[in-house]
Every structure is written in C-alpha cells, then in structure tokens.
Homo-oligomer: A and B are copies of this chain.
C-alpha cells in the first residue's frame, strides 16, 4: 500500500461546479495545492464519466493521484489510479481484484467497527463531519468531538493508516478538523463553489498546512 498525501483532497463533482469545465476546475484546484483528486458523479452515465476521468488523468500532473468514487469498472476503463469506496459499494478486496495491488483504494468510515484491519485500504475518509449540501447526509454528522473519537478508534485499529475528514469542511473549519488528528480534508463545495477555485485551494491548503505544523510542534 502506498502512502497517500491527503492534505487537500479535491472531490470533483461536475454538477457542483456552477457550470464550469470540470477539467479546468480540477487543474485550478491542483494549481492551488490539491494533493489528490476524486471523480464523484452519481448522475452522468458511465461512458461520460469514463471520458471525464480519462480527460482529467491526461491533463493532471502525474504525481497527483486520480480516484473514482464507487465505480471500479469506470476507474479501470479510464486508467485512474484507484477508487474511493463507501461501505455499501464493492468491497476493497473486490476492487483490488479488478484494479490490482498497485491501485489506491480508499474507504469511507463512519463507525469504529467499519475500520477492519484486513480491508487492505490505503487511506480512510472519516465523515460526515458536518452537514453539507453537496451530498445526501446518510449518517449523522460526527462534529469535531465525534471526529476526534473516530480518528482515535481508527488509529488504534489501523495505525499507521492515513485518514482525511469529509463533509462540510471549509477554510474556517479546517484548523479544528486537523486539530482532531486527521491528515487532511476532502472537500467539494469549499473548492468548486468558489468564484476563484485556485485561490480557494490556496486558502484551504494553507489552513491545513498551518494546522498540521501546529500539531507537530505540540
């Protein structure tokens, strides 16, 4: 398994980009400091998502990994670097059977019991931290205290797995989120609803980096 840089995880949902070109929007996020990108599209057909993912992979710098949400087959067809799975998606093992051991596989975790040591994942996304308009709520928000507790439980079970936090995180909330012990933040709206996506990425990444540095110093 590979060490993932989760500091600023850009979750690219074309429908949440205010009509802008998704490739340009993602390149702006990367220019501003995004370290990892996920295509998350629950509305388009598979062929369109394959095409978007291919276009992103071709346009993005090689060192920034590109994952696909849920659809292992789309990730394979488009040559993405891996998948991000929810608890009700295919299992990490089933994803690896298609994508191979080199693929990056991430998993959303909301409950400590979902942190299973043999899942062979590269990182976990902990959430939802806050309520958000970008996706269906599903599980109730953890809040900062819940995130800290979940992070501790995951550390106990899956150390040294890197983890990010997801849902409703913006620049103002990022310091407290990082303070809860995670390695980065996954965002949709805080990047892609912004007028200036690159500037929003710089602001978020700076907030994350400063909070990480502060944590290290303690």
CB-contacts of A68-93 with B (<8 A): 70-74, 76-77, 86-91
Is A47 positioned at the interface, with any CB of B under 8 Å from its CB? yes
Main secondary structure of the interface of A (DSSP, over half): helix
CB-contacts of A86-134 with B (<8 A): 86-91, 94-95, 97-98
Is A59 positioned at the interface, with any CB of B under 8 Å from its CB? no
Copies per complex of this chain? 2
A94 and B76 within 8 A (CB): yes
Is A55 positioned at the interface, with any CB of B under 8 Å from its CB? no
A94 and B50 within 8 A (CB): yes
A46 and B73 within 8 A (CB): no
Q: How far is the CB of A46 from chain B (nearest CB, A)?
A: 5
Is A48 positioned at the interface, with any CB of B under 8 Å from its CB? yes
B45 and A88 within 8 A (CB): yes
Q: How far is the CB of A94 from chain B (nearest CB, A)?
A: 4
Q: A46-B89, A50-B94 are in contact. List 18 more A-B contacts (CB 8 A).
A: A45-B88, A45-B89, A46-B70, A46-B88, A47-B90, A47-B91, A50-B90, A72-B73, A72-B76, A73-B73, A73-B76, A73-B90, A74-B90, A76-B94, A76-B97, A77-B91, A77-B94, A77-B98
